[in-house]
Amino acid sequence: MDLEKLFKPKSMAVVGISKKNPLSPGRIVLLKNEFEMNVKVYGIYPTGGDLEGIQLYEKLDKLPEIPDLLVIAVGPDDTLGYVQDCVDLNIPSCVIIGGGFAEIGGKGKKRQQQLEKLAFDNDIAVLGPNCLGVYAPPTVDTIFLPTERITRPPKGSVALISQSGGVLVDQFFVKFKERNIGVSTAVSIGNRAVVDEVMLLEYFSKIDQETSNIAFYLEGFKEGNARKFLQLARESEDTVVTFFGGKTREGKVATQSHTA
């Protein structure tokens, strides 16, 4: 699965934009990337119009180009339809911000199984669900927390991959900013339904030329991944550091709230 357009998109679209709520994730992602990042960004809104001078399109198939990345910031019942749009329109990657998948069990687990089949059968690089997404300066930033809420670290050579969005922005970002350590890419993987720790280690250690050090925060390996992950880490010419959470009783409770 090709992750290049997930982390280095030339263009992207955002669905789930609110014209009324300034704190809606889709709106924050659209405005941040339009005004602060290098990626060409398009907004999707059912009735079109505009938002702060940015033209909004009614549907994905109305865009002037096929984007490299789709950011999906809608409820779980609508999410699979947009992933199907990625298949139909040949959009190679997407970030699913919302939850309501395997982390809630029952219906959510079945929904995630449908997502996995759709993505793997059609080679769509899906990040998430239930995640903050990607921060790859100066290209793209799908982290839907305003700049005044969290300060992003500068550009550098460390790839950060975290199963917990909170650990990523409240721990890694804060410490890196304090020490002026830069990142090549920061990734919140959430439920890691499709793109997981093994794919990311392989990409950042073997393909991405901007990364020379890799740090993971995991609450456990995805089933069947432990041996492959350790093998890749041993073979890597980059420094690979992995932190594991959820070891205490309190930690286990915390991990259950945001990971599958």
Confidence grade of residue 148 (pLDDT, cut at 50, 70, 90): confident
Q: What is the pLDDT of residue 158?
A: 99
Over range 206-225, report the average pLDDT.
97
The 10 Å Cβ neighbour count of residue 252 is: 12
User: What pLDDT score was predicted for residue 250?
Assistant: 54
Chosen CATH of 133-256 out of 3.30.479.20, 3.40.50.12280, 1.10.10.10, 3.40.50.261: 3.40.50.261
Task: Provide mean pLDDT across the span 173-184.
Answer: 96
DSSP-H helix ranges across the chain = 4-7, 25-36, 76-89, 107-122, 165-167, 173-178, 197-206, 226-235, 249-256
As a whole number, mean pLDDT of residues 176-186 equals 97
Please choose, from the candidates 32, 117, 3, the residue with its C-alpha nearest in 3D space to the C-alpha of residue 14.
32
Q: For residue 146, what pLDDT is reported? A: 82
Least confident of 24-38, 77-91, 188-202, 239-253: 239-253
pLDDT tens digit string along 96-115? 999 999 999 999 999 999 99
Tell me the mean pLDDT in the region 125-147.
96
In DSSP terms, 42 is beta-bridged to 13
Q: What is the pLDDT of residue 149?
A: 82
- For range 9-17, the mean pLDDT: 99
Buried b (16+ CB within 10 A) or exposed e, 171-198: ebbeebeeeebebbbbbbbbbbbbbbbb
Average pLDDT, stretch 139-145?
A: 97
pTM of the predicted structure, to 2 decimals: 0.94
How far apart (Å, rounded) are the C-alpha atoms in residues 29 and 51? Answer: 13
pLDDT on residue 147 = 78
How do the domains of the chain map onto residue ranges? 4-127, 133-256
Whether the pLDDT of residue 258 is over 90: the answer is no
Q: Is the pLDDT of residue 253 over 70?
A: no
In which residue are the tokens 């920061």 written? Answer: 186
Domain 4-127, CATH 3.40.50.720 — does that match? Answer: yes
* Identity of residue 144: F
Is the pLDDT reported for residue 140 higher than 60? yes
Which residue is listed with tokens 């002026």?
180
Confidence bin at 252 (pLDDT 50/70/90): low
Copy the structure tokens of residue 87.
């298949």
